[in-house]
Structure 1
Amino acid sequence: MLLSYCTNVHPAEDLDGVLEQLRRYAGPIRRQSGLQTLGIGLWLPAGLAFRLARSGEDRERLRAALSDEGLHLHTINAFPFGGFHDDVVKLAVYEPSWARPDRLDYTKACAEVLADLLPVGMEGSISTLPLAWREGWTDESDTAATAAFVELSAFLRDLRTTTGRTIRVAVEPEPGCVLDSVADVVDWLSARVGVGLDPELVGICLDTCHLAVSFADPAAEVRRIVDAGLRVVKIQASVALEVEDPALPHAREALARFVEPRYIHQVREAAPAGVLRSDDLPEALDVLPARGPWRVHFHLPLHYQPEPPLTTTTSVLRIAVEAVAAMPHGSDAHLDIETYTWSVLPGGPVPLVEGIAAEIAWSIAHLRPHIHPSAPSE
């Protein structure tokens, strides 16, 4: 698995901003990590994706910056459409949905850009949202999304024919969305193979924070994907916040320090009667009964040690990576470190170069022999 880190941690929305983030952060992170090359999981806001798809000159500027900093681009995060660092993001991150044509157009633009910038011999991946947030999704929405993925499949086949580059799109299940779980994505994709969805080019992005929050067995979920004839295209290496007994006063005080206004932090409780759900941490602190362990959708740095009694779900990440590595095509999956919450961690801002380099070091130490920290040719 080829390792990268996701640049959605950086608030750039235009080309100049992206070029600056490569010079200010990604290049120094590579050097501090002691790597000859480093992959990046580039976040392309929609406006920039459309601009790059139209302009060969702008793509050359981006290509030159990547080369200058010893970076390569093999995966794109096309989940947030834009505004990912607004003061309040919350449910806006799920717009536009896959029922809207601009979501398809954006994903196509990202695929065109990636096909041009992808290093020779590599295959590319693009992660995308699980259709939409669940509220407001209708049968008509589902029909439109089905048509969009059929069209996307044809587009990706044509792109491979015309460019010689294979780009795959990976649907990323997330708690609270239309496709809440791995099982939901497997069922939805499988049901559409017969009408034109191409399982060779459309697969699954396994975000291990989302997986942990669902209290699913990671190895069993990977087997579910394999048994359905689908592939894990991409793993987003991430860990969730966990607390064994959220009823303890000092546990609730510790959890409250993770309440912040920008992002949504879904909470799941493993209660005796089944998993209980809340759509955000402030709501969970008010309404969940706290009779069983909690897991919180808060992407923590991989090496992060929260204040006891809080812990993290690194074991889920490790098991998932090992399970994917053992599956067909598992070694071809991309592993992208996705910690976008550095700016909202309790305690205030932290130095990003040192922090992300520490995540890379953790990954190399704990996820080998399954990952390649540099391009395989190095």
Structure 2
Amino acid sequence: MDLGRLGHLAYSTLVHPGDTWDEMRASLETYAPAVKQRVSPAEPYGVSLRLSGASARTLAGDPGERTRLRNWLAQHDMYVFTVNAFPYGPFKGRAVMADVYEPDWASEERVAYTNQVADILADITPASVSPSIQTAPLAFGANVRAEEDVTRITGNLLRAVAHLIDLEQRTHRRVKLALEPEPFCLLETTAETLDYFRRHVWSPEGIRTLCGLTGLPASEAAGLVRRHLGVVFDIGHQSVEFEDIAAALRSLRDAGLPVFKLQAAAALRVPEVTEDAVAALGAFTDTIYLSQTTEARDGRLTKMLNLADAIDAWRKDPTGTREWRTHFHVPIFLDDLGGFRTTRSGIEDALALHADVPLSDHLEIETYTWDVLPAHLKTGDITDYIVREWTWLRDCLDRSAAAHDHATGQGEVR
């Protein structure tokens, strides 16, 4: 949905089956019309499309299927404006864990996959939008062992940027690539992400590399890299890092690092770890996804790869007061989970800032964990769940926009 100055809004179809194009097409045709009918019956409806490596190969190699997709979208008054090209392989119904980052940006496969998705987007999206590609945070941190690894990763990333520059020159379609920082990855915190861009992408060496790939002068390459490469800011991820969400977003804005997608996601929060809380957390440990957890204790942050690791450490030493935040996506419309809380306040802070000065032209709701949520958090079917998240976000945006208009006098009758 086009929200005017506040950008385009969609929910992530990563929540649905979509490991192959047949699966993704079936999910799209099943769920998107049902959600549109309830949230945007009379207005064009924006779609965030998950494309796996297999789906990208299918669509890239089949012009007829791309035409079929374009026609179906037009017939249903829908348009794609963003693609999740982060998980390359299977994502549903099996253990994913750290494999979700593979192939990473050190590999040829990641470059080829991303370029295929860019070409598909240039073909299927309306000329009125500049579509974005959500991609992995370069690599799982433990797999990056030397500066040479970072150099290889950056070189591959800039090859993808060069492809986007060439694509726009050939088709007049601007496609944007957005890296998504995540706990335990090469890009993890907002500060680390800014440091990476300054030291590697925007550096003299980075610009020279892009000049060599494109044949353009440095005066043009320096601007084009910002035109095509930025970040996804996942509010849930950065909340797990205990970041001040509004301050983190301001730091990106002030540094000129584009936020090509602002992602509304809430993480599980345990304000005080107790025996009762640990016992109840068992419902959240049986998951196919990583559950990176950060512990705040005595003014110090400790990071653990999974919630189960945090529980094991607590059982060995349960003394002291501590708070946990864990990378388990929970419904954004909930703040109180009955014994636990969520990081929903970070979403509210981000939307208030966005309503004042828009941070991104792409907004997305990303709660993909419906299939592994504890039963007591599932109310209604998946369509009910998506609509409830959508409605909450729209209401929060409306309140933030009204507060902005009141503060600036824009809402006054003249």
TM-score range, shorter chain: over 0.9
Distance 2:279 2:76 in 1: 43
Distance 1:38 1:302 in 2: 21
Distance 1:318 1:176 in 2: 25
What's 1:20 paired with? 26
Letter in 1 for 2:83: I
What's 2:409 paired with? none
1:262-294 deviations in Å (ceiling 9; x for gaps): 111111112224111111011111114563211
1:125 equivalenced with 2:132 (yes/no): yes
Distance 2:131 2:258 in 1: 14
Deviation at 1:24, TM superposition (A): 1.1
Distance 1:278 1:102 in 2: 29
What's 1:317 paired with? 347
The more displaced of 333-342 and 63-72 is 63-72
Select the residue among 91, 107, 110 that pairs with 1:84.
Answer: 91
SS of residue in 1 equivalent to 2:188: coil
The more displaced of 331-340 and 285-294 is 285-294
Select the residue among 251, 255, 262 that pairs with 1:224.
Answer: 251
Distance 1:131 1:15 in 2: 25
1:164 equivalenced with 2:192 (yes/no): no
1:265 equivalenced with 2:265 (yes/no): no
Distance 2:268 2:332 in 1: 11
Where do residues 1-378 of structure 1 align in structure 2 (5 Å cutoff)? 1-35=7-41, 36-138=43-145, 139-191=147-199, 192-193=201-202, 194=204, 195-196=206-207, 198-246=225-273, 248-288=274-314, 291-304=321-334, 307-327=337-357, 330=358, 332-347=360-375, 351-368=381-398
**Residues 294 and 228 of structure 1: CA distance in aligned 2, closer, same or farther (over 3 Å):** same
Whether the aligned pair in 2 keeps the contact of 1:19 and 1:65 (CA below 8 Å) is: no
Distance 1:34 1:77 in 2: 22
**Residues 33 and 295 of structure 1: CA distance in aligned 2, closer, same or farther (over 3 Å):** same
Q: 1 or 2 for the larger relative contact order (CA 8 Å, sep ≥6)?
A: 1
Which one has the bigger helix percentage? 2
Deviation at 1:68, TM superposition (A): 3.2
Question: Which structure would you say has the larger Rg?
Answer: 2
Distance 1:190 1:106 in 2: 26
SS of residue in 1 equivalent to 2:227: coil
Distance 2:356 2:39 in 1: 27
The more displaced of 147-156 and 345-354 is 345-354
Distance 1:331 1:38 in 2: 21
SS of residue in 1 equivalent to 2:26: helix
1:205-243 deviations in Å (ceiling 9; x for gaps): 100110110000112111221232211110111001111
SS of residue in 2 equivalent to 1:81: coil
Letter in 2 for 1:88: A
What's 2:407 paired with? none
Letter in 1 for 2:174: T
Letter in 2 for 1:14: T
What's 2:410 paired with? none
**Residues 102 and 369 of structure 1: CA distance in aligned 2, closer, same or farther (over 3 Å):** farther
1:105-152 deviations in Å (ceiling 9; x for gaps): 111111111111111211111111111111121322211111112212
Distance 1:38 1:314 in 2: 25
**Residues 167 and 231 of structure 1: CA distance in aligned 2, closer, same or farther (over 3 Å):** same
Whether the aligned pair in 2 keeps the contact of 1:98 and 1:145 (CA below 8 Å) is: yes
Aligned residues: 368
Unaligned runs of 5+ in 2: 1-6, 211-224, 402-414
1:306-333 deviations in Å (ceiling 9; x for gaps): 5322011111012123334545xx3543
The more displaced of 303-312 and 150-159 is 303-312
Deviation at 1:369, TM superposition (A): 6.5
| TM-score when normalising by structure 2 | 0.84
Deviation at 1:338, TM superposition (A): 0.8
SS of residue in 2 equivalent to 1:98: coil
Distance 2:261 2:400 in 1: 13
Whether the aligned pair in 2 keeps the contact of 1:6 and 1:43 (CA below 8 Å) is: yes
Distance 2:373 2:93 in 1: 16
Letter in 2 for 1:276: T
**Residues 325 and 167 of structure 1: CA distance in aligned 2, closer, same or farther (over 3 Å):** farther
Whether the aligned pair in 1 keeps the contact of 2:351 and 2:396 (CA below 8 Å) is: no
SS of residue in 1 equivalent to 2:262: strand
Letter in 2 for 1:333: D
| TM-score when normalising by structure 1 | 0.92
Deviation at 1:359, TM superposition (A): 0.8
Distance 2:323 2:352 in 1: 25
